[in-house]
Structure 1
Amino acid sequence: MQDCPSAHTSRCETSTDTRQLGKKFAAGLSAGDVVILDGPLGAGKTTFTQGIAEGLQVRGKVTSPTFVIARQHRSTVGGPELIHVDAYRLIGDGDSGGTDPVGALDSLDLDTDLMDAVVVAEWGGGLVEQITDSYWLVTFDRTTAVVADPDSHARIISWQRKHTG
């Protein structure tokens, strides 16, 4: 990712703000990038992914992958595809317990090589980063703004580049 800093924090007041931040984030993603989204239910992970999809200009409606485990979205402009994964369901209970994440992704029988796509994994912490040497960790905080103002619906979204090994 070249256009975004290696660490960044934004406050998003609305879902539109979250989607726009995802689109901005996508501007620097390229094939082979892995993005792990970490945060509680309802924090904006899928909304952020909708922005990534818009930025990557891929086909198909982006919805939570919870019930299908993974969705593949093809590019409309010859760019990388988007693979949106629910890593918790992919691996099982979220405890890798010896499960091979690469094997689990391969078992999905995707029509593309992971190195030709951007992989966005909800609930992927501790699992999906095993498939790559570096990844983006995007965290969603939906409590800090509410503690300061109980009427707030804001999310604090932060990302940083991480390296394994």
Structure 2
Amino acid sequence: MIVVQAPTASDTRRIGRALAGLTQPGDVILLSGPLGAGKTVLAAGMAEGLGVDEPLTSPSFVLARSYLEGFMPLYHADLYRVGSSGEFEDLDLLEEARAGVLVIEWGEMIASRLADSRLTVEIKGAGSEPRTISFVPSGSWLGRPIEPAIVVNL
């Protein structure tokens, strides 16, 4: 596990940009943390890092948004309002996102249904508090230089 501090939202966004530089087609990144922790801010930084010009917004009410104009497609899902893992499977995002990166907010309920190769990011803190961000890599993420990429960008 890798743990870093992000004193500001700008730092959280920079961490997202740094993570984007480490992604590969087919990657899955799970973001967890309380409401207001900065999950969407981190995802927006990833979108910037992937060359997406369109502002990333929370897909809370539509469940998922696709950003296809960057270096690699970004699929952003927010499962806060999803009642079951079956609802997520109905979206067919895992198949659709194979050519890009799938970032899932509130994905704890479906984590056991995902491949073992993913990056789990937990953000602690809310409001004006500094954030503590933990990264738990598994599978293909184990060999990637997550900590150096993030530390250099903070």
What TM-score does the superposition give when structure 1 sets the normalisation length?
A: 0.75
Residue number in structure 2 paired with 1:8: 2
Tell me by how many angstroms 1:104 deviates. Answer: 1.9
Aligned to 1:81: 73
Deviation at 1:129, TM superposition (A): 5.1
Q: 1:105 and 1:128 mapped to 2: Cα distance?
A: 15
8 Å Cα contact 1:59-1:73 kept in structure 2: no
Structure with the larger helix share: 2
Q: Assess, with a 3 A threshold, how the Cα gap between structure 1 residues 21 and 53 changes in structure 2: closer, same or farther.
A: same
Q: Distance in 2 between matches of 1:124 and 1:42?
A: 16
Q: How does 1:1-165 map to 2 (within 5 A)?
A: 7-76=1-70, 79-89=71-81, 92-93=82-83, 95-96=84-85, 99=86, 101=88, 103-106=89-92, 113-128=96-111, 130-142=113-125, 153-162=129-138
Does 1 or 2 have the higher relative contact order (CA < 8 Å, sep 6+)? Answer: 2
Corresponding residue SS for 1:24:
helix
User: Relative to structure 1, is the Cα distance of residues 85 and 129 closer, same or farther in structure 2, using a 3 angstrom cutoff?
Assistant: farther
Give the number of the structure whose alpha-carbon radius of gyration is greater. 1
1:26, 1:52 within 8 Å by CA — same for their partners in 2?
A: yes
**Secondary structure of the corresponding residue to residue 138 of structure 2:** strand
Change (3 A) 1:87 1:39: same
CA-based RMSD: 2.3
Q: Give the TM-score normalised by structure 2.
A: 0.80
Aligned to 1:4: none
Aligned length in residues: 139
Q: Unaligned regions of 5+ residues in structure 1, if any?
A: 1-6, 147-151
State the percentage of identical aligned residues.
38
C-alpha displacement of 1:100: 6.6
User: Does the CA-based 8 Å contact 1:87-1:128 persist in structure 2?
Assistant: no
For residues 53-80 of structure 1, give each alpha carbon's deviation from its aligned partner in whole angstroms, at most 9, with x where no partner exists: 111112421111111111100133xx32
Gaps of 5+ in 2: 140-154
Distance, in Å, in 1 between the alignment partners of 2:137 and 2:18 is 16
Return closer, same or farther for 1:129/1:29 CA change in 2, 3 Å cut-off: farther
